[in-house]
Amino acid sequence: MRSFENQFKNLYDATDKFHIMGKDLDNLVPITMDDIVPNVNLPGDVYFKLSDDNFVVIGREGTREQFKELHFFDKIRNSNIYIRKPDLRKFSSLKVHSANEIMKSDKVPVEAKVNALSHTLNTVFTSIDQLGFSNEALGNTKFIANSVLKIINDTPKLTSLMTLMNSISEDLIKHSMAVSMVSALISQSKGWNNPSILEKMALGALLHDIGLKEYPKEFLSKPRVDYTPEDLEYYQRHSFRGIEILRTVENVPQEVMAIVYEHHENSIGQGYPRGLRDVRLHPFSKVVSLADTFCELTFKDAQKPTPRDPEEAVQFIEHTLGQPFNKECFTALKNILTFGIRKASIKIV
Ligand SMILES: [Fe+2]
Ligand SMILES: [Fe+2]
């Protein structure tokens, strides 16, 4: 690190472009290259971490990022990039603005749209985690929910949709978008095609695990079979933590709050946190809890490198888990596999 630091100092001395910053360190938050919109002016200063108390500016607010031109680009590609915490809001809204342009374009392939949306959701989630939930964060997540609905509408094959979602690299983002997609599909299969219902369903499903965002990555990558009773209790708290996070904004729809709180409940009363039975669960939670389990079984993640295919997953839910979910929702899911995806009118954002 020492010689690397000297390289920076040489660069700084030589060009006068870079500044060593030793104060105000608590105000910095880590981001990734995916949080930065390329080819537009930076909405805030970007720093590179040399050591715990030594950061250098590698991009100035209002200038084009030129990270690739830095000779140490390989070192900044995936880690050690920081911005000032209050600037997260600006980075996040720029990311949403850019994703909106990408979504509107007919020339951009759907794979690139999903890629842009997943990075945007990651930035929005980081912003929620660091700055708390806000009306702006709610609006940004609504935009992503409607974009997921549009992707579904434009890609009417379950296998193609699953391939698209599987291309997302970050586990929590992939899972949140996949559950949003499958919840909307189950909803449509049940005949719930009203755009407002679909938006709330997709939004609640996107946010259902928001309580996990603040959990340490090492904890989340620990195999569930190795959880101690304390680990399990801590993990199960994420449903409640989720609604605590969302509660700070007054106009979060009640349906969304119910989804976040009840997504680990099931119809036979063996879920958590309250062990409620079918009649006491919100109709939207019944959809998302099934979609959540289906996605856990069918999508690749660190816990499960070889997932089941959709038919095997449905068999597993029916015969191994004893089909603990709402019957109509489960039939709706099976109908998607048997008869394909129903088209619905989607509000285009
Ligand atoms: Fe969860
Ligand atoms: Fe989940």
Among all ligands shown, which has an atom nearest to the Cα of 175? 2
Among all ligands shown, which has an atom nearest to the Cα of 241? 1
Chain-wide mean pLDDT for the chain? Answer: 90
What is the structure's pLDDT at 91? Answer: 97
Mean of pLDDT values over 109-115: 97
Task: Give the angle subtended at the CA of 128 by the CAs of 42 and 113, to the nearest 5°.
Answer: 60
The pLDDT tens digits of the residues spanning 179-197 come to 999 999 999 999 999 999 9
Residue 24 has pLDDT above 80, yes or no: no
Distance 270 CA to ligand 1 centre (A): 15
Helix (H) or strand (E) holding 82: strand 81-84
What is the structure's pLDDT at 172? Answer: 94
**Confidence at 330, pLDDT banded by 50, 70, 90:** very high
Distance 205 CA to ligand 2 centre (A): 8
What is the structure's pLDDT at 207? Answer: 98
Distance 3 CA to ligand 2 centre (A): 44
Sign for the CA dihedral angle at 139, 140, 141, 146 comes to positive
Residue 148 has pLDDT above 90, yes or no: yes
Q: Which amino acid is at 330?
A: F
Distance 126 CA to ligand 2 centre (A): 17
Q: What is the CATH number of domain 105-339?
A: 1.10.3210.10
What is the structure's pLDDT at 271? Answer: 97
What is the structure's pLDDT at 4? Answer: 60
Mean of pLDDT values over 119-136: 96
More confident residue, 31 or 12: 31
State pTM to two decimals: 0.91
Distance 76 CA to ligand 2 centre (A): 31
Domain ranges in the chain? Answer: 2-88, 105-339
Mean of pLDDT values over 125-143: 96
What is the structure's pLDDT at 14? Answer: 47
What is the structure's pLDDT at 345? Answer: 42
Distance 247 CA to ligand 1 centre (A): 17
Distance, in Å, from the CA atom of 83 to the CA atom of 94, rounded to the nearest integer, reads 14
- Counting residues of the chain whose pLDDT is more than 90, the rounded percentage is 74
Distance 213 CA to ligand 2 centre (A): 11
The pLDDT tens digits of the residues spanning 72-101 come to 777 776 678 999 999 999 999 999 999 999
What is the structure's pLDDT at 347? Answer: 42
Distance, in Å, from the CA atom of 314 to the CA atom of 325, rounded to the nearest integer, reads 12
Distance 289 CA to ligand 1 centre (A): 9
**Confidence at 346, pLDDT banded by 50, 70, 90:** very low
**Confidence at 6, pLDDT banded by 50, 70, 90:** low
Q: What is the dihedral of CA 35, 205, 108, 170, to 10 degrees?
A: 40
What is the structure's pLDDT at 10? Answer: 57
What is the structure's pLDDT at 66? Answer: 81
Distance 239 CA to ligand 1 centre (A): 6
Q: At what angle do helices 171-189 and 135-154 cross, to 10 degrees?
A: 60
Distance 132 CA to ligand 1 centre (A): 19
Residue 21 has pLDDT above 60, yes or no: no
**Confidence at 112, pLDDT banded by 50, 70, 90:** very high
Distance 69 CA to ligand 1 centre (A): 41
Distance 175 CA to ligand 2 centre (A): 7
Distance 21 CA to ligand 1 centre (A): 39
Strand, helix or coil at 58?
Answer: strand
**Confidence at 3, pLDDT banded by 50, 70, 90:** low
Least confident of 56-60, 175-179, 207-211, 232-236: 56-60
Helix residue spans in 16-109 (DSSP H): 73-76, 88-104
Strand partners, 41: 64
Distance, in Å, from the CA atom of 81 to the CA atom of 75, rounded to the nearest integer, reads 10
What is the structure's pLDDT at 65? Answer: 82
Distance 88 CA to ligand 2 centre (A): 25
Distance 65 CA to ligand 1 centre (A): 37
More confident residue, 4 or 230: 230
Distance 23 CA to ligand 2 centre (A): 39
